[in-house]
Every structure is written in structure tokens, then in C-alpha cells.
Amino acid sequence: MDLFKKCSDDSLAKQAKAAGIYPYFHALESKQDIVVEMEGKREIMIGSNNYLGLTGHPEVIKAAVDATNEFGTGCSGSRFLNGTTMGHLKLEKELAEFLHKEDCIIMSTGFQTNLGIISAIVGRHDVVLCDKENHASIYDAIRLSYGDMVRYNHNDMEDLEKKLQAVPENRGILIVTDGVFSMSGDICNLPKIVELKKKYGARLMVDDAHALGILGENGRGTGEHFGLEDEVDIIFGTFSKSLASLGGLCACSHEVAEYIRHNSRPFIFSASITPGCVAAASKSLEIIKREPERRKNLHHISNYMREALRKRGIKFRDSEVPIIAIYTYEPEITLQVCKRLFEEGVYVNPVLPPATPVGECLIRTSYTATHTEELMDEAADKILAVLKELKVME
């Protein structure tokens, strides 16, 4: 059989392209913002993870440009060898202090960071308890490790305990959960997870990609939100959302960080994050600390949009975060909704199986601290019109 046969087989992507409802790879013609230019059209952007609105902040842009002028466009090597600058060390220290951990490691992307953490610390006789709705990078990280994966039902603490009870006492246990689940906007049940962690002698890693900068009084994420920061052994974070850059972080004890630095193949054998990205993330962190009103604005505008959808009778999955999932149920209808909204000037993201159960397709919308109520009303009106046009709702 030809290895490439799978490439010519029929697929949902090919079917969507043939039907004219393919929703991916739309090209931006402006910087990421609350309103963008995309393929010659004005689009209200409610499909971005630019939660705090810092990707276009002049101070963040200047910091990236200045660092590039000083250190060049790249480091030409691994952090392990020639790819560490003083900027890398400064940002690691800043993040460790901000997250109240002894140490921090920064890596080149968020996806790579999950690979780098889990593949290093999970050994041949270890078990990883993984929420079924965790991010794909967590799944791939567990596969890259030598440990065994045991999945538990989404946010189902009874199922998690049942799975923990079945793990032999002589095996190391890591519980891994998203803090905020990226598609649904659910927040993990951290208090119960911590209780079970202690009961069964496990360690806990929280993926705070969608919580860092957003949850907690100071934006430190899920642990701060619940008052349980000290109980989270490893905090994962990404720079591509609230920190307006590219890269990832692992905040933990110094001992664990040193082990990862010297044993993580994705870390050791990857080129380091660029000086510009380091500087952008560092400046974004500075702004997060000095401007808590951005986080307040973000929650206000997210709540305003929830109420706007509710007033219009639009069904959505309720949450406390700037992620609102609107039900569209079936794949083809979901793609049609996304196409029509794009044509009407509203950019959203489709969520299809396997990212969601069959019959529960969604459009994922997400919000930015600098969105206005006027834009939210405009977007909500257009969402309502399209859902009615396509008979998703009467």
C-alpha cells in the first residue's frame, strides 16, 4: 500500500472546501486587535486569545523591537548551549516571583513546554491521570513519556478517585488538568483535585494557558483563584495569550526545574525562544502587574456579552472566563455558521468532533479587555441573525 494513500482519501476538510464552507487559514492583513482586516474585510475579532489586548500595545512592540536590535532575530542554538541570554534568565526570575514558585523554565512554544515537562518527569513506572478534555499537547506529552495514561471523565471527581484507587502504591502518580478548558471555558475543580492529590500521594500539574493573567486577584491563575497556589506542584503557562508573545513556561520547585533542564529532550534539543519574544513577554508581565483594570475590563466585557446573548435567546455554555461556546450541534451547520458570520464581519472559531462530543458542535468565541459594549452588541445581533437564517434557532 502506498504510504501517501491517506493523503488522497476523502476527508472533512476536502468536503468543506468543495462545499465552500472551509473555515481555516483566513489571512490577517492587520495586527491582532478587537477589529481586524482579514482578506479585505472588516472583522470583529471574537476568535482570538489576545485576552488582555497586549499584542498591539506600543510598549510591548517597542520592547520586542529593542531586544531584536540589541540581540538579533534569534539565538542560533539551544538554551542548553549557546541560546541563553540575560533576557531569558531575567524573565524566568520574574515569572517565578510572580507565580510564587522557586524556579521557572521558559521554552520555545506552549505545546513544546508541555512535551518538555511531562516527557521528562514521567518515567516508565509512573501513571498520569488526565482529564479527557485536556489540551492535545498534554496527550502528546504523555505519549512521548514512558509512563501510562489513565483518562478520567471531564471534571468528574468521582471518576478521578476511582482511577486513583486502581493505581498500585509503588507507582508515581501525576494528575494533569487544564485550569481553564480551552473549548468549553470550564474551570477545573481544583479544591477536590487537591484533596485527592493529598489522599493518594500524587503530584499535580495545572495547565494555566487560558488562566494566566485572567484568573485570581493578581492574575496568577487557577491556583490563586481558589487560594491553592502552594498545592499546585507544576504550573504550565503559555506566552501566546495574555503575555502577547510566543513561548511557554514551567514554574515549580528548583529541584524539579533543574531535573527538567537536564533531562527534557524537547528543551535540550530545541532552539531557544527569540530575544524579541522574551522581551515582549517580560513587558506584558510588567503591564499585567501594574494594570489590574485590564483584567476587570475583560471580565466586564465577557459578562456583558453573556447577557447580550442571553437577552437574544442564544444558547451558550455558561462560564466565568472570557470563553463563550455557542451551540451549533452538527458539523456542517457549524461550518456554515462560521462562513456566514465571516461574511457578515464577525470572526469566530468552529469546534467539531473529536474536540467536542458528536451532536454538540460549537462555535468558540473569546474576548479581549479592550472590546467595547457597542462591538459586543453588533456581534450578538449578527450571531442571532445568522443562527436564525440557518435555522439553528427559531
Active site (catalytic) residues: 182, 210, 241
- Per DSSP, the residues of 199-211 read HHT-EEEEE-TTT
Q: Identify the three-state secondary structure at position 105.
A: strand
12 Cα distance to chain centroid:
25
3-state SS, 213-258, equals CCCCCCCCCHHHHHCCHHHCCEEEEECCCCCCCCCEEEEECHHHHH
Buried b (16+ CB within 10 A) or exposed e, 2-33: eeeeeeeeeeeeeebeeeebbbeeeeeeeebb
Which grid cell sits at 115?
512535551
Contacts of 39 (CB under 8 A, 6+ apart): 26, 27, 29
Residue 354 preceded by cis peptide, ω within 30: yes
Which grid cell sits at 61?
512592540
Sign of the alpha-carbon dihedral angle for 90, 92, 95, 97: negative
The rounded distance, in Å, linking the Cα atoms of 61 and 306 is: 32
State the burial class of residue 355 (Cβ atoms within 10 Å of its Cβ: 0-12, 13-18, 19+): middle
The rounded distance, in Å, linking the Cα atoms of 182 and 320 is: 13
Q: Are 232 and 95 in contact (CB under 8 A)?
A: no
Sign of the alpha-carbon dihedral angle for 324, 229, 224, 237: negative
Q: Are 188 and 155 in contact (CB under 8 A)?
A: yes
Query: Could you tell me which of 282, 320, 362 has the C-alpha nearest to residue 179?
Result: 320
The rounded distance, in Å, linking the Cα atoms of 354 and 373 is: 33
The rounded distance, in Å, linking the Cα atoms of 97 and 114 is: 21
